[in-house]
Chain A
């Protein structure tokens, strides 16, 4: 875990199901997240992903990369281009800063129309007890 390390990309298919399931799982019943007609009436071409789902995906991306022992401390995101059904979002991350067992990761999620999300995630990864070194003393 070093400053400058890049996290492996995560590609997420933005299906209608993901948008609706994420909205309902986060108890967000704003119609723009499940009702295309209402979304159009409000100036959007289609339903779009709610911020809680994006937040959860950014959190998932970081904990997927750092493993189940990783503990999220802070998550700060800003939304840009909406995630509409049929698009794909690619999450990328880069370690900006490391302090002991805590890293600050800059995360960007880009979709087909621009940058859906950008933000920083502060994550602690408790040190594992040292494991036997391969090729060490027999």
Chain B
């Protein structure tokens, strides 16, 4: 939808390439190359993007399409931005006095991606930079617009002084709330199931019309359409019908890798839950498992999970 559309049309650098900005850059970065000073000075090539920056007075020339894209992402909660990739090609050196113009196009917008920072979208733009209409460089830039997964509380006044010796800053552990697991969504159709979980019972629905068992809970029978039902309590025996091991993306409050099993209960219905008691890489299809209830968080119901048994080691 946005790919191929201009992000900036007819952008003009706010300042010509100039010695003071070159010197400030070299000072900041500790770049003492002789190429960037004196009468024949050129600008450090990596400054290419600097000449196109809007600064505090904003990015004039941004297209409506690009503003709309960024607005949509903001609206989706992806209000934070971080740059991830930069690819530049330098066709000729820039010199003091050069006046830069540029055009940008949206090359790609990714689908939603889960990252350590949070879920977001990668937006890639490509900028062609010119001087007097002549191409001087290209600049491909990728940003992640994301919804932050967590925030850090404001710093405490008694922050430890920073050490210049390569020590990492200490983040106060109290500033990060412990992430909690998602809460079950309990409604009229599944309240009976969660009531059972509270009593450490795994309840399966049974159709009163055709006696078919069903799980997960539904208002009506998929076999005969009857809306009348009662429940039977699962005996607790099952086998791994299928499974996946989750490595990535990590969700707060979960600690990958872990195995998620599709468990076929002895009664014949299937349920998705964690397989515990077995290393994640030892879970196998057909492995017998046994229901148990595990409380993962204080104040929350114990959840039905399935404990596997490793086959006994033979010999050794």
Contact of B93 with A40 in the complex, beta carbons under 8 Å: no
Q: Which of A1-9, A48-56, A93-101, A125-133 has 4 or more CB atoms under 8 Å from chain B?
A: A48-56
Give complex CA distance A77, B31 in Å.
19
Q: Answer whether residue B70 sits at the interface, using C-beta atoms and an 8 A cutoff.
A: no
Binding site for A on B (CB under 8 A): 21, 24-25, 27-31, 33-35, 44-47, 49-50, 53-56, 79-90, 93, 117-118, 148-155, 162-164, 166-169, 171, 175
How many whole Å from A76's CB to the nearest CB in chain B? Answer: 4
Binding site for B on A (CB under 8 A): 12-13, 15-16, 18, 21-22, 24-30, 32, 36-37, 40-46, 50-53, 55-60, 63-64, 68-69, 71-79, 84-88, 112-113
Contact of B149 with A43 in the complex, beta carbons under 8 Å: yes
Chain B residues, CB < 8 A from A29: 55-56
Contact of B28 with A22 in the complex, beta carbons under 8 Å: yes
Contact of B29 with A25 in the complex, beta carbons under 8 Å: yes
Contact of A68 with B162 in the complex, beta carbons under 8 Å: no
Contact of A76 with B87 in the complex, beta carbons under 8 Å: yes
Chain B residues, CB < 8 A from A51: 83-84, 86
Chain A residues, CB < 8 A from B169: 45-46, 84-86
Could you jot down 17 A-B contacts, CB within 8 Å?
Answer: A28-B53, A37-B155, A40-B151, A42-B79, A42-B151, A45-B152, A51-B83, A68-B33, A68-B34, A74-B87, A77-B86, A77-B87, A78-B84, A79-B84, A86-B162, A86-B163, A112-B168
Contact of A26 with B85 in the complex, beta carbons under 8 Å: no
Give complex CA distance A75, B168 in Å.
28
| Main SS class of interface, A | mixed
Which residue on A lies nearest to B171, using beta carbons? A45
Contact of A43 with B152 in the complex, beta carbons under 8 Å: yes
Residue from B31, B56, B93, B155 within 8 A of A60 (CB atoms): B31
Which residue on B lies nearest to A10, using beta carbons? B30
3 closest A-B pairs by beta carbon, nearest first, are: A43-B148, A40-B152, A59-B46
Contact of B154 with A57 in the complex, beta carbons under 8 Å: no
Contact of A56 with B29 in the complex, beta carbons under 8 Å: yes
Contact of A79 with B154 in the complex, beta carbons under 8 Å: no
Q: Known contacts A15-B164, A112-B168; is A52 also within 8 Å of B45 by CB?
A: no
Which residue on A lies nearest to B148, using beta carbons? A43
With A40-B152, A58-B46 already in contact, 6 other A-B pairs whose C-beta atoms are closer than 8 Å: A25-B21, A64-B31, A68-B35, A72-B46, A74-B89, A85-B162
Give complex CA distance A73, B93 in Å.
10
Contact of B49 with A43 in the complex, beta carbons under 8 Å: no
Chain B residues, CB < 8 A from A28: 53
Which residue on B lies nearest to A18, using beta carbons? B28
Contact of B166 with A42 in the complex, beta carbons under 8 Å: no
Contact of B90 with A74 in the complex, beta carbons under 8 Å: yes
Q: Known contacts A51-B86, A76-B86, A76-B88; is A86 also within 8 Å of B46 by CB?
A: no
Contact of B53 with A36 in the complex, beta carbons under 8 Å: no
Residue from A40, A46, A72 within 8 A of B45 (CB atoms): A72
Residue from A13, A56, A71 within 8 A of B25 (CB atoms): A56
Chain B residues, CB < 8 A from A87: 166, 168
Chain A residues, CB < 8 A from B80: 32, 42-43
Chain B residues, CB < 8 A from A50: 83
Contact of B154 with A37 in the complex, beta carbons under 8 Å: yes
Chain B residues, CB < 8 A from A25: 21, 24-25, 27-29, 50
Residue from B27, B54, B152 within 8 A of A44 (CB atoms): B152
Chain A residues, CB < 8 A from B167: 86
Chain A residues, CB < 8 A from B85: 76-79
Give complex CA distance A74, B45 in Å.
9
Most buried by B among A46, A56, A69, A79: A56
Give complex CA distance A50, B50 in Å.
12
How many whole Å from A101's CB to the nearest CB in chain B? Answer: 16
Contact of B30 with A60 in the complex, beta carbons under 8 Å: yes
Chain B residues, CB < 8 A from A21: 27-28
Give complex CA distance A23, B166 in Å.
20
Chain B residues, CB < 8 A from A12: 30
